[in-house]
Amino acid sequence: MTEKISTVNPDLDPETWVDQYGDYLYRFALTRIKDPFVAEDLVQETFLAALNGRESFKSRSTFQTWLTGILKYKILDFFRKKNREQAVDDIDAVDETVDGFYHNNGSWKIRPGKWDLNPSKTYEQNEFLNAFFKCLAKLPDRLARIFMHREVEGLDTEELCKAFQISATNSWVMLYRARMHLRRCLELSWFNKVEEENR
């Protein structure tokens, strides 16, 4: 894909999106969701969302990056819906706070286990990524979103405060909680560590 600096922008004609970005987005979705039909649907939803939200596209990112950004949230939503179908109680049961992880004196009650992992090997596995998305989708919505914004899009504190209309301190607390629950969920579902509660 060649970058055109100003002048005519071919991205203004939505119909051309399919040929230009369709395959890329499809592969992106398929890498993360194995089902070709679901992947197709998500690409279609992405285009639809892009069509409706064209004004919010800022040329500081490429159009492909922008579309991919939308797709990532569609993927997250997909896992969220799937979780909801599987276990309704489970989702609502996630307590946003982290107090339960510690004793009153601040020592660990649910201790972080040792994750024996070789990152480059672990995250190459699709099943692992699957588990990661599922756990992400189990988080309360705003925690999942702030985590995505911070760790996937790489927004900084100032940008997060603007996006969520919160204070800096608040953003750090939310990220802390998101990370805490995410790591715990992965520990249970993937690393399958022995419970060490209540020693």
Instruction: Compute the least distance from the CB of residue 152 to other proteins, in Å.
Output: 5
Tracing tokens 């588990």 back to the chain, one arrives at: 131
> DSSP class of residue 87?
-
Q: How far apart are CA 188 and CA 185, in angstroms?
A: 5
Instruction: Compute the least distance from the CB of residue 89 to other proteins, in Å.
Output: 25
> Judged by CB under 8 A, which of 10, 18, 34, 88 binds other proteins?
18
Q: How many residues bind other proteins (CB under 8 A)?
A: 60
Distance between start and end Cα atoms, the chain: 58
The total number of residues shown for the chain amounts to 199
User: By CB under 8 A, what part of segment 85-104 binds other proteins?
Assistant: 98, 101-102
Q: How far apart are CA 48 and CA 83, in angstroms?
A: 24
DSSP letters along 133-174, please? HHHHHHS-HHHHHHHIIIIIS---HHHHHHHHT--HHHHHHH
Q: Does 31 interact with other proteins (rule: CB under 8 A)?
A: yes
Q: Does 157 interact with other proteins (rule: CB under 8 A)?
A: yes
> Judged by CB under 8 A, which of 84, 151, 163, 189 binds other proteins?
151
> Judged by CB under 8 A, which of 4, 9, 10, 23 binds other proteins?
23
Stretch that binds other proteins, among 9-17, 55-63, 86-94, 137-145 (CB under 8 A): 9-17
> Judged by CB under 8 A, which of 11, 70, 132, 143 binds other proteins?
132
Q: How far apart are CA 155 and CA 164, in angstroms?
A: 12
Nearest to 133 by CA among 69, 73, 176: 73
Q: What residues contact 31, with CB distance under 8 A and at least 6 apart?
A: 126
Q: Does 57 interact with other proteins (rule: CB under 8 A)?
A: no
Q: Which residues contact other proteins by CB under 8 A?
A: 14-15, 17-19, 22-24, 26-28, 30-32, 40, 43-44, 47-48, 51, 72, 98, 101-102, 105-108, 111-115, 117, 119, 122-124, 128-129, 132, 147-148, 150-152, 156-157, 168, 171-173, 175-176, 179-180, 182-183, 186-187
